[in-house]
């Protein structure tokens, strides 16, 4: 199934609103405009190219970390092919609307280490 593509998106490279571009990361709503893709030599990343995938079955602590990651406004959540946000479960990421299951996530989304990136960007002065 082809993922739903937005009518407009903010390119993370040139930081402008665009209507044409490419999906950059699988199962995440990260899009890059064609101009930036060409300028930076970017291509869509396939699941097979991701080396830091952790396959489900996950522990309760891993599911809690992933659920918090999915709810974090600082990151792109994992989404189903319809663009709905997955819910974290021990057997994988699950979409309650279309019942799609994704049986992997980035390892760093499962161990709470993603929070240190947020804390590093907060001004503590």
Q: Residues near 5 by Cβ (< 8 Å), separated by ≥ 6?
A: 23, 31
Domain boundaries in the chain?
A: 9-47, 51-121
Q: What is the dihedral of CA 21, 82, 53, 34, to 10 degrees?
A: 0
Q: What is the dihedral of CA 52, 8, 10, 106, to 10 degrees?
A: -10
pTM: 0.81
**Contact in structure between 82 and 95 (CB atoms under 8 Å):** yes
What is the full per-residue pLDDT of the chain (125 aa) written as tens digits? 555 677 888 999 999 999 999 989 889 888 999 999 999 999 999 989 988 999 999 999 999 999 999 999 988 999 999 999 999 999 999 999 999 999 999 999 999 999 887 666 555 45
């Amino acid at each position: 199934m082809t993922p739903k593509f937005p009518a407009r998106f903010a390119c993370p490279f040139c930081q402008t609103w665009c209507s044409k571009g490419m999906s950059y990361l699988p199962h995440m709503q990260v899009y890059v405009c064609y101009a930036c893709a060409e300028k930076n030599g970017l291509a869509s990343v396939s699941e097979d190219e991701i080396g830091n995938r952790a396959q489900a079955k996950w522990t309760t602590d891993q599911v809690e970390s992933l659920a918090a990651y999915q709810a974090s406004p600082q990151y792109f959540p994992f989404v189903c092919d319809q663009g709905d946000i997955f819910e974290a479960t021990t057997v994988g990421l699950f979409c309650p609307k279309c019942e799609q299951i994704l049986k992997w996530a980035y390892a760093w989304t499962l161990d709470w280490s993603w929070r240190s990136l947020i804390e590093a960007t907060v001004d503590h002065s």
